[in-house]
């Protein structure tokens, strides 16, 4: 039997989707159910909370970056040997990019594709019966995306609940949850999103507070009754990123954390071994590995420690002399000559590529990316087309003289020019690879 599933959607980011999702996941897990989370779009952080809440791995399901076959394979994997799947929308439910229908990257694509109902989370602070107009708009906007119920969030009082809830139920949508304002339920944030699950000293206590909220404020039996089977069409993993080597040295600590769960899982599924090491603990990649991968994360918060990690520096130089090393976003920054921190102080980095970056001169870079590789590298062979995402605030201070790694386009195919750098066995780019196009 396949799992039953529901999508948690909202009009915008900041409506409380993540808290509601985690609360439901943790509450149902405490009931003894096998529950898994999924996240629409390119988010590295929320799947970590889903995994912590359930004890079972989370995943990203991205209708733009993943081919339909890969998307179906990952969705089926989440539904296998599972009772319930909670799929959390990124941003607003219908937010994607204007491309071919079904490939926009929105959670609404997944609702249509799999026939899944949507539980709409409405932040009703500052309004009452107007919430019904918002709900009605969602209910009628796309006849192929079904709103199954509503959760009212950030209510000020019982009267507030009655005014909002009665108006919504009058248009035919059941209200299955009503959550009072409670700042202690908010998850702390910083410049790239939520503070990550692994950085909490009392993570499980906070997850249990969210589960207590869900038990108290939501009709969980009604939520489960709204769900429908998640039964994707046949798919396969042919378009997943291929392992860059048999043994992969993977930087893994508070500075290097942004690796999509499906990427590592697909590497292992293909028979590769991942060998973690911590640059912040001054560890170097294992010389017995075939390739080194520096993922994104928050190196800009740890520049002094990374600059002082002499064993890491020497080990990376030794490794990259004969074997491939690749960096994404934060990892790309560390491969360069230097990083200027938020206070304007410059810290020496690995110097394996010639560029330098600054976190003091911040500007947000955000969006889907498609890269045509100019040369063989750990991302793939020369000419391969890779889809991914870019999200960073760091800016280039100096470009150096290395060869470009790829020709980049945005999600609609508009050329963005050359991107990333390569020198010898070393390569890097600001964009995070998600799948083969």
Catalytic residue numbers read 329
Measure Cα distances from 126 to 8, 154, 167, 218 in Å. 22, 9, 15, 21
Task: Measure the CA–CA gap between 9 and 109, rounded to whole angstroms.
Answer: 12
Question: Six-digit token pair at 177?
Answer: 């949850």
Task: Measure the CA–CA gap between 179 and 390, rounded to whole angstroms.
Answer: 34
Using the structure block, give the residue that is written with the tokens 């028979």.
271
Do residues 89 and 120 make contact, with C-beta atoms less than 8 angstroms apart?
no
Do residues 107 and 87 make contact, with C-beta atoms less than 8 angstroms apart?
yes
Using the structure block, give the residue that is written with the tokens 């929320």.
46
Find residue 232's DSSP bridge partners: none
Residue 232, number of CB atoms within 10 A of its CB: 21
Do residues 312 and 251 make contact, with C-beta atoms less than 8 angstroms apart?
no
Question: Six-digit token pair at 432?
Answer: 């995070």
Phi-psi map region of 200: left, alpha, beta (phi>0 left; psi -120 to 50 alpha): beta
């Amino acid at each position: 039997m396949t799992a039953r599933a529901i999508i948690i959607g909202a009009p915008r980011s900041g409506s409380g989707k993540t808290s509601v999702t985690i609360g439901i996941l943790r509450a149902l897990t405490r009931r003894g159910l096998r529950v898994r989370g999924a996240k629409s779009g390119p988010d590295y952080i929320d799947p970590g909370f889903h995994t912590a809440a359930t004890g079972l791995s989370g995943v990203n399901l991205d209708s733009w970056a993943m081919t339909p076959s890969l998307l179906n394979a990952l969705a089926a994997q989440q539904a296998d040997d599972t009772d319930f799947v909670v799929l959390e929308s990124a941003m607003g439910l219908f937010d994607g990019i204007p491309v071919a229908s079904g490939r926009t990257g929105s959670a609404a694509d997944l609702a249509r594709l799999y026939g899944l109902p949507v539980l709409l989370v409405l932040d009703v602070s500052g309004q009452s019966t107007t919430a019904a107009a918002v709900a009605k708009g969602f209910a009628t906007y796309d006849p192929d995306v079904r709103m199954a119920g509503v959760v009212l969030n950030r209510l000020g009082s019982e009267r507030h609940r009655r005014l909002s809830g009665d108006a919504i139920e009058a248009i035919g949508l059941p209200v299955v949850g009503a959550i009072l304002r409670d700042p202690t339920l908010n998850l702390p944030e910083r410049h790239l999103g939520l503070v990550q699950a692994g950085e909490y000293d009392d993570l499980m206590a906070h997850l249990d507070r969210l589960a207590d909220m869900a038990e108290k404020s939501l009709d969980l039996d009604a939520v489960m009754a709204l769900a429908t089977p998640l039964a994707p069409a046949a798919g396969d993993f042919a378009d997943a990123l291929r392992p860059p080597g048999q043994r992969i040295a993977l930087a893994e600590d508070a500075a290097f954390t942004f690796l999509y769960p499906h990427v590592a899982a697909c590497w292992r599924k293909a028979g590769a071994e991942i060998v973690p090491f911590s640059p912040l603990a001054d560890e170097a990649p294992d010389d017995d590995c075939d390739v080194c991968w520096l993922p994104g994360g928050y190196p800009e918060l740890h520049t002094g420690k990374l600059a002082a990690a002499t064993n890491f520096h020497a080990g990376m130089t030794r490794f990259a002399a004969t074997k491939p090393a690749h960096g994404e976003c934060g990892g790309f920054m560390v491969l360069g000559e230097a990083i200027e921190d938020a206070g304007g102080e410059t810290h020496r980095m690995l110097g394996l590529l010639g560029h330098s970056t600054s976190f003091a001169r911040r500007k947000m870079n955000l969006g889907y990316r498609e890269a045509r590789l100019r040369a063989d590298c750990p991302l793939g062979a020369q000419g391969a087309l890779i889809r991914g995402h870019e999200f960073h605030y760091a800016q280039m201070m100096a470009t150096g003289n290395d060869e470009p790694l790829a020709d980049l386009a945005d999600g609609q195919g508009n050329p963005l020019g050359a991107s990333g750098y390569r020198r010898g066995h070393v390569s890097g780019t600001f964009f995070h690879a998600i799948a083969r196009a």
